[in-house]
Every structure is written in C-alpha cells, then in structure tokens.
Amino acid sequence: MAGQEQKSTQPRGEEEAAEVDVPTPAAAPAGAQDTESTHGVDDLLDEIDNVLETNAEEFVRGFVQKGGQ
C-alpha cells in the first residue's frame, strides 16, 4: 500500500517500476496476481492506454452533468 500511495501517475513506459520500493503494490486484488490473468490484464491495459482520452485531469474535471431522474 505504501508503495502505491507514493506512486506517480505517469503513463506506462516511464520506468515507474524503478521508483516503487516494494516489488508489487500490495493492494492488487485477489486473482490479479497470478500469472495468467495478470498477462491478460496487461494486454488489456495496453489496449486501453491507446484509447484513453488525453489529459485525464481535464477530462474528469470537465465531465459535469446536470442532475436528472
């Protein structure tokens, strides 16, 4: 958990693994740690990285809705 909270929010490919002082963030969910599903999730994240809106901060801030039913 400690490693996780001090992590930056850089996108993948910035060698963030080197900055983490524990091998893997402890908060990873049950099931996501075993090799096969981790590979699946990694592939998935690679794909999602390519379609995520740029500038998450601005997008999330700008996504304001008026109330509805």
In the complex, the residues that contact other proteins under the rule CB under 8 A are: 3-12, 16, 20, 24-25, 27-32, 37, 40-42, 44-45, 47-48, 51-53, 56-57, 59-69
- Give min distance, CB of 65 to other proteins, in A: 4
Going from the C-alpha of 36 to that of each of 1, 8, 11, 43, the distances in angstroms are 23, 26, 23, 11
Contact 23, 2 (CB under 8 A): no
- Give min distance, CB of 19 to other proteins, in A: 8
Residues sharing a CB contact under 8 Å with residue 41, sequence separation 6 or more, in sequence order? 32
- Give min distance, CB of 48 to other proteins, in A: 6
